[in-house]
Amino acid sequence: MPRKILVVANQRKLAGRRKELYDSVVGGLRALGHDVAERAVTPAAEAAAPDLSSEALAFDQVVIAGGDGTVNRVLQGWDSSEVPLALVPLGTCNLVARECGYPKDASGIISVIDEDRRMPIYVAWANGVACAIAAGCGLDSFILDSIAWRWKKRLGRVYVAWKSCVGILRYRSRRFEVRVDGSPVHGSSVFILKGRYYAGPFSISDEASLFEPCLFRVVNEHPSLWRLLVAGAAMFMGNTRRVGEILTIKRAREVEITGPAGFPVHLDGDVRLRTPVRIVVSERPLLMCVPANRPDVSAVGAERFRRLNGERPPRGHDAGEHAHSHHERRVRDDQPDLAHGQRSDDAA
């Protein structure tokens, strides 16, 4: 059925192969009979986030064409739980698209948008600023705070790698004061995970999910920077079990980082705030279009997916099986410390 679709595109990403992918998706949607309107947005460093809530009500779907920074900017001005979002991944890491299981080819992306299969997603809010994938305070935010956007754009990953090495040598460990659901915690680095992926196709915890209404707080409780670097190496090697042995990983609904004051905090890879900061998970989900065969959907998420899209449960899915899967989910939720050894598929 033809629909009215608003495509919000990061104009800085529309060059070369990314421009070809974008044109193929937009052209393909129009060829299917959809009424497609286009709107360009500028990078986060150059302008305020657009307020699309009222404009989106005139459309059946809003498609975000860009990277994680573009998704984050659109979420800042997004206040609609009725109009579904979709993605055209044009960024470097595209962590939100990875989390949602988006294909990389134009035909696959067109199919996801055209089929309009929806899942509720739960973003986090830090001092009123949206965060879709992860927030961090410590070595990673210290390095990101030193990166100049204009040089990153010109030199790319080489510049980022150089600044990372310099940042590691210059960094001095801090003792952060943290409150997790009201309980005090201390650590030399703090990560707040909303999605499974971090810094590319790597995972700190395989349990973190954009589709579940909870946060995962990860704290390096030891003052040693070396332990954090070892955990980072384990993450890059896909060994999440080892990461869980080094860092403390727990579920949470609310995380506060109260001190030291004025330290940079990154949200989805960009330094947006300074401590103190309070991070909570959104109580009202947004809708995201996802592939029908999206991998790694939990039993609870799969049932929610089918119900939202009017599908019947698969054969053999009786009350006993549902109760068993729900019981296993509750047991996992009640475990305070999590360490998982399954390697993410993208990192394998």
Note the pLDDT tens digit of each residue in 35-94. 999 988 875 544 556 667 677 788 999 999 998 888 988 888 787 778 999 999 998 889
- Of 202 and 50, the structure prediction assigns the larger pLDDT to 202
The domain spans of the chain are 4-122+285-302, 129-282
Check: CATH 1.10.240.10 for 129-282? no
What is the spatial distance between Cα 187 and Cα 257, in angstroms, rounded to a whole number? Answer: 10
Under a CB-based contact definition with an 8 Å cutoff, are residues 296 and 93 in contact? no
Residue 264: C-alpha distances to residues 7, 176, 186, 275 (Å): 32, 12, 17, 7
pLDDT of residue 184 exceeding 90, the answer is yes
Q: What is the pLDDT of residue 76?
A: 85
- The pLDDT of residue 116 is above 70: yes
Tell me which DSSP letter residue 49 carries: P
The CATH code for residues 4-122+285-302 is 3.40.50.10330
Average of per-residue pLDDT across 142-151: 89
Looking at the chain, the whole-number percentage of residues with pLDDT higher than 70 is: 81
> CA 128 to CA 115: how far, in whole Å?
33
Tokens of 254: 């609310």
User: Is 66:33 a contact under the CB 8 Å cutoff?
Assistant: no
pLDDT tens string 262-280: 999 999 888 999 999 999 9
pLDDT, position 22? 95
Handedness of CA 46, 154, 95, 269 (dihedral sign): negative
105 pLDDT more than 70: yes
Q: Categorise residue 115: left if φ over 0, alpha if ψ from -120 to 50, beta otherwise.
A: alpha
Q: In the predicted model, what is the mean pLDDT of residues 180-196?
A: 91
225 or 110, higher pLDDT: 110
Residues 151/155/161/165 CA torsion (nearest 10 deg): -50
Instruction: Note the pLDDT tens digit of each residue in 128-138.
Output: 999 999 999 99
In which element (H, E) is residue 225 found? helix 225-236
